[in-house]
Chain A
């Protein structure tokens, strides 16, 4: 079942990570590039993507990082997670980035490069193109 944590309407291309993301210290605030060598998205930019990942981890201060990347125009346009953690939920709320949680099966079916449209007012909030 989809759960809408932050609403919105966007279209974009998926960048998916099977690792959780610790926004504080993993994502460069100026560029939106993942700077953690041990992360599967190392050197990739989250800018203007629909970022799909299992959940956020780490310090709740990471919410400010999400706010910062949005202020610097390097943020994802939407996020999709398996599990709602408070850091990502509040970060997306601060930054007004749509956030939806989905079940395991739907998470498995999403791949990097897919085109997706999100409309949280619609009965089917995620539409695969």
Chain B
């Protein structure tokens, strides 16, 4: 990788240890991904926030570097482990809470916007077409590349953090023109958000850095997010192009059989003890739609609804939150289904969700059973 004289000097430590470490991260990442240089970015979105995932090692690391590391571009943050407003309703120990708050402090000290959201594309203004960003959250990277005309690699927690500090990222794969070498042909009729989540999950296993997907009809926001979430979960792929692509590329069908295989892999229970909605977190449109669907109805079991704090505040003003709480929903901001410490296999055998991303982590990380249902089915079956 070619570095400028100034970059070389920072890598040698002439701008301090923190800058040196940040450059080491970008150079190592760049060499591993065959980048030839570093390029400026305008926005970084960081993962590595939830104490449940980064643990003591992560907490200690962030605490150490926050003494002098500062971000130099707009930097937003993934969800953490809980919502401080209602954490006392859940069985989390003091250690978890204090370590999580230390992580929050470290990021705030570094100048990061404490957005605690995995849907930055929905709650922040999108920069102009072609802007280079560095998004570590997989569903957000895919959404940015596929729907928002931004350019990012599927960054690691570390390359995104180093990019936020330096304001640059390695110029590799998806930042350049990237032509997919495979096309997934969507053949399933009457798809809902669950179908699109499974399509994304399937495509993510096949694609390397990007895929074409043909046969997509009109998709609503929930379905788009479901597809990005599903794809980010199953592999390294971080972009889909709409359409058949080059006629010479390999074509692979996604039909009932392929969908059934994904379903069988992730759906491990006939029914759930509780319901979760939101992974990715729900935006204001989805909250509005959910409120309308629940009019005059109530959940017959616990239903956890995950959303960003900014969306919760807006929804509160409009009156959606009161309605959702009346219907029996537990409203949780700043956190998400994905890798939540709030669902524990000691208390819960299985969870019903419409999220493929949520299903994957509930099954593999929380170790609980998963019952997949679309939102329509959830409302029909679980409310009265």
Contacts and interface: CB of A to CB of B under 8 A. Distances in A.
Contacts of A89: 28-29, 31-32
Contact of B21 (A63, A87, A93): A93
B46 interface: no
Contacts of A67: 57, 61
Interface residues of A, number: 24
B24, B27, B156 — which one has the most chain A CB atoms within 10 A of its CB?
Answer: B24
Q: Is the interface of B mostly helix, strand, loop or mixed?
A: helix
A89 B159 CA distance: 10
Given A67-B61, A86-B159, A96-B21, A61 B55 contact: yes
A63 B158 contact: yes
A94 B32 contact: no
Contacts of B60: 68, 71
B157 interface: yes
Interface in A63-107: 63-65, 67-68, 71, 84-87, 89-90, 92-94, 96, 99
Nearest to B53: A61
Nearest to A92: B28
B28 to A, nearest CB: 4
B235 interface: no
A64 B31 contact: no
B294 interface: no
A123 to B, nearest CB: 18
Contacts of A68: 56-57, 60
A36 to B, nearest CB: 18
B378 interface: no
A116 B198 CA distance: 49
B158 A93 contact: yes
B101 interface: no
Nearest to A90: B158
Contacts, number: 70
A53 B361 CA distance: 29
A29 B31 contact: no
B25 A90 contact: yes
A110 interface: no
A71 B61 CA distance: 10
A124 to B, nearest CB: 18
A89 B158 CA distance: 10
B54 interface: yes
B292 to A, nearest CB: 39
Contact of A93 (B27, B56, B58): B27
A57 interface: no
Nearest to B48: A61
Contacts of A60: 156-158
A4 interface: yes
A65 to B, nearest CB: 6
